[in-house]
């Protein structure tokens, strides 16, 4: 029982990170019908940004409380990653807006390769790390054993919940969110109502990247180490989460992320850790066979 | 205002939209050919003609869906500008010019979102294009995006719950609710727009277009698919928009009971060319219009032709 609960906590923590990245995929898909394959690498970039910022801040103001330092890292990393994403969108996707559907997709793959190589060049191919932070946690006795709830896990789950709430508020209640939902349904009509569609699309990329940066900071806190190729697997997992939840659906992305995290952790815990990715992707394949539009996705209706 | 035999519209009326020598070619097909007409401020102007006459193409050129092959579409704000001022703008690379008492917008140079936000032209479509997944109320609020977005500091202020954002939101909701009252959909405010019956969706679409605060409202077949009761409600709504809001209307319509009852001025197109232009009474009795609409029997053809040559 305690083992099961421990894995539940671990799975939810991992799933939160996937969910945050998955939102970037699902939003961009929702609004322009494109899979942004560079999103995983934007996440990797954000981990590097967070890592560098954290090292800088701790070197400059050593005595700063860890919580405050992390908050500062979070805010600056979100802003810088958003800026990166804005520039990427501007350079690689915006000029292809009127082009055929596959063009931005190919451009995104190119951008992904560029980001990986760029980071490898400027940061070197070796792992970069920070000293362990936020060690320790609570031991909760349950039944015959204990479960560990580490400070990091609490930080990850709470940060994710707070930012998802803020994000949900923006999408549901503000004029930007309404414009995004309008563009998602009918871009031409949205433009005719005076909505600047290009800007709305750019802001969607920016918001997705900011959430990926949150995931990046949390990744840094959890693992404390990053490498230029670390964007690929979490990126693909988050993409899987978005598809599992129903691509285009925001709650779907979060729930898909949590599910992928849980599946991965439980599979590793009870079966074989070597096959955890196989398990996660098999669930995806099975879902797609029986529910092609995912858990919360709308079936794709051809417009007449 | 309804002089029976005036072929040209009353020149004393101020134009709000002037279309000059508008031509639109698709490959070898000339959909609109050298079309010129004016929409008078504060009037309802109808654009009619048989199927395929190019009416919707004209709309698409006005609202920025198509870039016309050639021609000029000038939208006026405030008092009409002198021809010299319009020509000066045409010769400059700018899309619009402001003067002390108004402005000119060259719609053929502007992007669709600017035509709505700057030149204040709104439109609806033949097929309904509501945001079906959003609620009825949200459809009306999203149309107020422009000023609301500015007022909410691009939503950043909204996130921190600033009072100015709340105030702007409240104003937007007030306007939306006022329109819901006017179209009789107040009790459906929180339903998804896609769940409304067809006639209600049509009126909601018009209300949504009005929420952008347009000077000119372009309606593409607003009465299509409406039953007689709904159609007469629509007439009342359109006339109240003209008289109450002071918005000028340009509409494409096949339902002659709507056209003849509410239009102040009618432009008739056939094969992309204007064949008649005048008051409803004039149009009703114009043999060219009758020939275009009804077709002519063989024996009548010569008569009609003789009439045309006069």
Q: Least CA distance to A167: which residue of chain B?
A: B159
Select from B65, B132, B138 the Cβ nearest to the Cβ of A178.
Answer: B138
Q: With a cut of 0.95, is the ipTM above it?
A: no
A298 assigned to some structural domain: no
Residue B5 has pLDDT above 60, yes or no: no
Domain B1-120+214-310 and domain B128-212, same fold? Reply is yes
CATH number of B1-120+214-310: 3.40.50.300
With CA atoms as reference, report the closest residue to A241 among A258, A226, A225: A258
Give the model's pLDDT for residue B159. Answer: 60
Chain A CA closest to residue B117: A194
> In Å, what is the CA distance from A22 to each residue of A180, A207, A250, B222?
17, 12, 9, 42
Helix (H) or strand (E) holding A15, with range, is: helix A2-32
Q: Which residues pair with B22 in a beta bridge?
A: B35
Give the model confidence (pLDDT) of B103-132 as tens digits. 888 888 888 888 888 888 888 888 888 888
**Euclidean distance between CA atoms A69 and A178, whole angstroms:** 34
**Best residue in A173, A193, A195 to probe B by mutation, most B CBs within 10 Å?**
A193
Distance CA B208, CA B230 (A): 18
Pairwise CA distance, residues B211 & B124, whole Å:
12
Taking contacts as CB-CB distances below 8 angstroms, the residues of chain A near B122 are 192-193
**Mean pLDDT over residues B223-229, rounded?**
86
The answer to pTM > 0.90 is no
The DSSP annotation for B154-210 comes to TTHHHHTT-HHHHHHHHHHHHHHHHHHHHHT-GGGTTSBGGGS-HHHHHHHHHHHHH
Exposed e or buried b for every residue in B94-116, given b needs 16+ CB within 10 A? ebbbeeeeebbbbbbbbebbbbb
**Fold for domain B128-212?**
Rossmann fold (3.40.50)
For B200-249, the DSSP string reads: HHHHHHHHHHHHT--SEEEEESTTTT--HHHHHHHHHHHHHIIIII--EE
Structural domains of chain A, count = 1
Task: Tell me if A295 is assigned to some domain.
Answer: no
User: What is the residue range of A281's domain?
Assistant: 2-290
Residue B249, beta-bridge partner list: B44, B217
For residues A155 and A117, give the distance between their C-alpha atoms in angstroms, rounded to a whole number.
31
Give the length of chain B.
310
Instruction: Give CA A50 to chain center in angstroms.
Output: 15
Where do the structural domains in chain B lie, given as residue ranges? Answer: 1-120+214-310, 128-212
Give a yes or no: residue A300 inside a domain.
no
Nearest CA in chain B to A178: B142
Distance from CA of A281 to the nearest CA of B (A): 31
User: Which SS3 state, helix, strand or coil, does residue A226 take?
Assistant: strand
Nearest to A263 by CA among A14, A2, A6: A14
**Structural domain contains residue A297:** no
Mean of pLDDT values over A41-45: 94
Q: Which H or E run contains B44?
A: strand B44-48
Q: For residue A174, list chain B residues with Cβ-Cβ distance below 8 A.
A: 152, 155, 158-159, 165
Q: What's residue B297's pLDDT?
A: 55
Give pLDDT tens digits for A48-78: 999 999 988 888 877 677 888 889 999 999 9
Query: Token pair for residue B91?
Result: 């010769």
Q: Residues A105-163: pLDDT tens digits?
A: 999 999 999 999 999 999 988 888 888 887 787 888 877 778 888 888 999 999 999 98
Q: Which CATH number belongs to the domain containing residue A115 in this structure?
A: 1.10.3470
**Model confidence at A19: pLDDT above 90:** yes
Nearest to B294 by CA among B263, B268, B274: B268
Q: Is residue A216 part of a domain?
A: yes
């Amino acid at each position: 029982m305690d083992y099961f609960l421990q894995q539940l906590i671990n799975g939810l923590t991992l799933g939160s990170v996937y969910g945050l990245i998955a939102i970037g995929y699902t939003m961009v898909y929702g609004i322009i019908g494109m899979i942004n394959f560079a999103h995983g690498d934007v996440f990797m970039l954000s981990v590097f940004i967070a890592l560098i910022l954290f090292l800088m801040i701790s070197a400059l103001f050593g005595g700063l409380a860890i919580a405050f330092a992390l908050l500062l890292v979070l805010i600056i990393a979100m802003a810088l990653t958003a800026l990166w994403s804005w520039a990427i969108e501007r350079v690689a996707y915006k000029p292809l807006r009127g082009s055929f559907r596959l063009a931005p997709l190919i451009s995104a793959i190119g951008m992904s390769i560029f980001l990986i190589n760029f980071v490898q060049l400027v940061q070197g191919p070796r792992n970069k790390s920070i000293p362990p932070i936020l060690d320790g946690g609570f031991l909760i006795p349950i039944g015959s054993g204990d479960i560990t709830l580490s400070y990091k896990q609490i930080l990850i789950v709470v940060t994710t919940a707070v930012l998802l709430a803020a994000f949900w508020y923006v999408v549901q209640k503000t004029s930007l969110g309404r414009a995004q939902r309008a563009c998602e349904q009918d871009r031409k009509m949205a433009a005719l109502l005076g909505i600047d569609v290009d800007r709305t699309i750019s802001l969607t990329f920016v918001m997705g990247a900011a959430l990926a940066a949150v995931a990046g900071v949390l990744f840094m806190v959890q693992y404390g180490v990053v490498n230029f190729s670390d964007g690929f697997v979490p990126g693909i997992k988050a993409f899987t989460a978005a598809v599992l939840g129903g691509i285009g659906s925001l709650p779907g992305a979060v729930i898909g992320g949590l599910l992928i995290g849980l599946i991965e952790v439980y599979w590793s815990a009870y079966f074989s850790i070597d096959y955890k990715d196989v398990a996660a992707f098999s669930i995806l394949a099975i879902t797609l066979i029986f529910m092609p539009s995912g858990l919360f996705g709308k079936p794709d209706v051809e417009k007449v | 205002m309804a002089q029976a035999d005036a072929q040209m519209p009353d020149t004393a009326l101020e134009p709000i939209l002037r279309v000059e020598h508008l031509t639109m070619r698709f490959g070898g097909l000339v959909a609109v050919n050298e079309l010129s007409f004016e929409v008078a401020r504060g009037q309802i102007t109808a654009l009619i003609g048989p199927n395929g006459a190019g009416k919707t193409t004209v709309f698409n050129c006005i609202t920025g869906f198509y870039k016309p092959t050639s021609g000029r579409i000038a939208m006026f704000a405030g008092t009409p500008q002198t021809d010299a001022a319009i020509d000066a703008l045409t010769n400059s690379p700018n899309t619009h010019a402001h003067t002390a008492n108004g402005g000119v917008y060259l719609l053929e140079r502007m992007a669709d979102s600017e035509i709505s936000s700057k030149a204040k032209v709104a439109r609806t479509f033949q097929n309904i294009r509501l945001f079906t997944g959003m609620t009825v109320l949200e459809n009306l609020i999203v149309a107020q995006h422009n000023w609301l977005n500015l007022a909410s500091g691009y939503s950043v202020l909204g996130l921190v719950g600033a009072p100015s954002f709340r105030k702007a939101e409240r104003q937007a909701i007030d306007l939306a609710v006022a329109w819901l009252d006017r179209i009789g959909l107040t009790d459906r405010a929180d339903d998804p727009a896609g769940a409304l019956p067809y006639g209600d969706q049509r009126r909601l679409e018009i209300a949504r277009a009005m929420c952008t605060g347009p000077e000119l409202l372009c309606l593409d077949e607003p009465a299509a698919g409406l039953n007689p009761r709904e159609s007469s409600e629509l007439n009342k709504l359109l006339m109240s928009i003209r008289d109450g809001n002071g918005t000028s209307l340009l509409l494409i319509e096949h339902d002659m009971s709507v056209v003849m009852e509410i239009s102040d001025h009618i432009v008739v197109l056939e094969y992309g060319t204007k064949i008649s232009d005048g008051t409803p009474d004039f149009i009703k009795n114009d043999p060219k219009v009758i020939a275009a609409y009804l077709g002519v029997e063989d024996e009548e053809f010569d008569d009609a032709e003789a009439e045309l040559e006069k």
